[in-house]
């Protein structure tokens, strides 16, 4: 008995030690090669990434180390960057560089006076190599604080090539063509779209694409800033357009009721899983990741995408998002941090991650050949090609109470709209009421 307890104790200690070791892992990485102008300094970078994203970003940091000699350390913050970074600043342990995932957070940091304006070198790179819209989303009150290093493309409709060939339809160019193609797919026996209604954010993305293409970027910006009311006729029109798809039982796998019971991974499974129920699923470039990792589909062969089609003669929308790198004033090595940003602004840095996969760069100078596969290359091309008409995810720009909370605000109201799309006007009014409340707070 005694013996057993001792072994158990030893085991526990070993486990605790091992855990401790992992927790302390990811420490400074030593240098090798390069001109070593910054050797002896350690740049701390905080960001939401974990898992494979963190691993791939580490490759970029390693390349920076090789070049300059500065050591780097990545701290994963989990989902809530602003809280973590805020408490670190208060605790006198601020990271030098933060990768900020939302425009709202970047503005919040800038307003609190935490950020250093970007150096002239970085500004020049941004002016020369990025579409102006990226500069706009990185600036607050005319000062550039954020460099968009990684971007997401949220205007991609993913489909199973088998299903579309079976139905004999081609990738549509307009929204109406898409609905028509959807009906043909449905005639072939497979529902057209899998809609993830249980996750409100997929519905906001649907709406944003339709709205951006139909109402145009100016109105989109005004609505995102809530200078335009949600009761505006353009919103009602976009909702009506979206309702055409939502209310059609032939177009949605299992009808509205089942759509409301489907979460995002579930909707991908409905198209790319072992028992396909639908031919297409709309969401961002990350659908490819799920289809590949969870369902073993080879991207490009078993899964492909077409850009979200243009609505009512507008241009095809490109809704995007991204992680911006910012430099904190309170960081111990803010200067070296600034050098890191200068490096991140180069196509060279973007190429490192592009090769590893799961990455899009808004940098025009990045050679498309750097991407590992054709589908990612096509997404990147569409993103860079859209140039200045790229718009950021509207719900990410809104206060969280309106655009980012399960069970309330825009998420909930669009779910109600999916359940009963018969009255777009009432939905618009409800959206305006919720928005008015959230934006005032």
Binding site for other proteins (CB under 8 A): 165-169, 184, 186-190, 197-200, 250, 257-258, 260-261, 399-401, 404-409, 411-412, 415-416, 419, 441
Shortest CB 159 distance to other proteins, Å: 15
Q: At what angle do helices 347-356 and 334-344 cross, to 10 degrees?
A: 70
- CB nearer other proteins, residue 77 or residue 139: 77
For residue 227, what are the CA distances in angstroms to 218, 223, 230, 285?
Answer: 11, 6, 9, 30
Report the nearest approach of other proteins to the CB of residue 260 (Å): 5
Min dist CB 267 to other proteins, Å, is 13
Coil vs helix vs strand at 123: helix
Length of the chain: 441
Dihedral angle at the C-alpha atoms of 215, 219, 221, 226, nearest 10 degrees?
Answer: -120
Backbone angles phi, psi at 316, to 5 degrees: -60, 135
Smallest gap, in angstroms, from Cβ of residue 96 to other proteins? Answer: 28
Q: Give min distance, CB of 402 to other proteins, in A.
A: 8
Question: Which of 160, 182, 157 is CA-nearest to residue 247?
Answer: 182
Closest distance of CB 253 from other proteins, Å = 11
Nearer to other proteins (CB atom), residue 390 or residue 418: 418
- Say how far apart CA 39 and CA 71 lie, in whole Å: 7
Q: Which is nearer to other proteins, 91 or 189 (CB)?
A: 189
Helix or strand run (H / E) with residue 74: strand 71-76
Which residues in 104-236 belong to E strands, given as ranges? 115-116, 139-140, 143-144, 147-153, 156-159, 191-194
Would you say 170 or 355 has its CB closer to other proteins? 170
153 neighbors 364 (Cβ within 8 angstroms) = no
Question: Toward other proteins, which CB reaches closer, 302 or 416?
Answer: 416
Q: How many helices (H) and strands (E) does the chain have?
A: 21, 13
Give one word for 247, left, alpha or beta, with left for phi > 0 and alpha for psi -120 to 50: alpha
Q: Which is nearer to other proteins, 89 or 438 (CB)?
A: 438
Query: Which pair of structure tokens corresponds to residue 196?
Result: 């993830």
Among 210, 392, 242, which residue's Cα sits nearest to residue 311?
210
Q: Of 110 and 413, which CB lies nearer to other proteins in the complex structure?
A: 413
Q: How far is the CB of 348 from other proteins (least distance, A)?
A: 40
C-beta of 340: minimal distance to other proteins in Å? 32
Cα of 49 vs its chain's centroid, Å:
12
């Amino acid at each position: 008995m005694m013996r057993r307890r001792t072994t158990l104790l030893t085991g526990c200690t070993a486990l605790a030690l091992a855990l401790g070791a992992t927790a302390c892992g990811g420490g400074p990485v030593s240098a090798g090669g390069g001109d070593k102008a910054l050797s002896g300094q350690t740049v701390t970078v905080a960001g939401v990434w974990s898992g494979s994203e963190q691993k791939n970003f580490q490759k970029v940091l390693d390349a920076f180390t090789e070049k300059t000699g500065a050591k780097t350390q990545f701290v994963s913050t989990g989902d809530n960057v602003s809280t973590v970074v805020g408490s670190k600043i208060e605790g006198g342990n601020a990271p030098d560089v933060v990768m900020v995932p939302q425009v709202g957070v970047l503005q919040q940091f800038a307003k609190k006076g935490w950020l250093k304006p970007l150096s002239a070198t970085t500004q020049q790179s941004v002016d020369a190599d990025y579409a102006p819209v990226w500069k706009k989303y990185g600036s607050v009150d005319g000062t550039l604080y954020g460099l968009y290093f990684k971007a997401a493309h949220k205007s991609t409709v993913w489909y199973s090539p088998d299903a579309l060939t079976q139905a004999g339809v081609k990738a549509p160019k307009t929204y109406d063509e898409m609905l028509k193609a959807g009906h043909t797919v449905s005639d072939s026996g497979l529902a057209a779209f899998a809609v993830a209604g249980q996750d409100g954010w997929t519905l906001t993305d649907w709406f944003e694409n339709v709205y951006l293409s139909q109402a145009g970027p100016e109105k989109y910006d005004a609505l995102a800033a809530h200078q335009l009311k949600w009761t505006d006729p353009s919103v009602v029109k976009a909702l009506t357009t979206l309702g055409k798809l939502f209310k059609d039982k032939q177009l949605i796998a299992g009808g509205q009721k089942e759509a409301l019971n489907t979460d995002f991974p579930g909707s991908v499974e409905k198209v790319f899983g072992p028992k396909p129920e639908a031919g297409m699923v709309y969401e961002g470039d990350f659908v490819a990741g799920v289809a590949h990792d969870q369902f073993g589909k080879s991207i490009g062969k078993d899964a492909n995408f077409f850009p979200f089609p243009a609505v009512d003669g507008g241009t095809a929308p490109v809704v995007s998002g991204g992680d911006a790198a910012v430099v904190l004033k309170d960081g111990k090595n803010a200067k070296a941090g600034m050098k890191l940003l200068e490096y991140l602004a180069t196509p060279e840095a973007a190429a490192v991650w592009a090769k590893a996969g799961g990455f899009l760069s808004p940098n025009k100078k990045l050679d498309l050949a750097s991407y590992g596969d054709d589908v990612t290359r096509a997404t990147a091309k569409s993103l860079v090609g859209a140039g200045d008409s790229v718009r950021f995810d509207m719900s990410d720009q809104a206060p969280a109470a309106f655009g980012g909370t399960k069970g309330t605000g825009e998420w909930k109201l669009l779910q109600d709209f999916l359940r009963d799309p018969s009255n777009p006007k009432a939905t618009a009014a409800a959206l305006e009421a919720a928005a008015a409340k959230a934006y005032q707070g």
